[in-house]
Amino acid sequence: KQEVTQIPAALSVPEGENLVLNCSFTDSAIYNLQWFRQDPGKGLTSLLLIQSSQREQTSGRLNASLDKSSGRSTLYIAASQPGDSATYLCAVPLMSAGNMLTFGGGTRLMVKP
């Protein structure tokens, strides 16, 4: 059974800091890993999708890396801004017929001005 864990559960940083969010998964047989952002009371917005054959993906100030063998992914946010305050979730699809996603519990980020 795939289990996904995110550390830390919450993070508070001053504006301008570079930060790293961690995601670990127990079964390394994955198709890909997807990072989402969730604002309070809202749905999920996809940030980055890393295929199992890739090591990293970049979008603007965001960089996600994937190490399948160790069951880890990191989301790096450069020069954080108050607008980055949100919950960040990682998820992997199961290697089953439905490929439904298994999510971590999320990291709640607050960037203080």
Q: Which residues here bind another protein, judged by CB under 8 A?
A: 4, 6, 31-32, 34, 36, 41-46, 49, 51, 89, 91, 93, 97-106
Q: Based on CB atoms, which residue is closest to another protein, 1 or 113?
A: 1
Scan for tokens 């979730």, then name that residue.
89
Alpha helices in 1-113 (DSSP H): none
Min dist CB 95 to another protein, Å, is 8
Shortest distance (Å) from residue 80 CB to another protein: 22
Which candidate, 19, 18, 58, 2, places its Cα nearest to that of 35? 58
Give the start-end residues of each E strand in 26-106. Answer: 32-38, 44-51, 56-59, 62-67, 72-77, 86-93, 101-103
Residue (19 or 94) nearer to another protein, CB:
94
Q: Is the CB of 77 or the CB of 92 nearer to another protein? A: 92
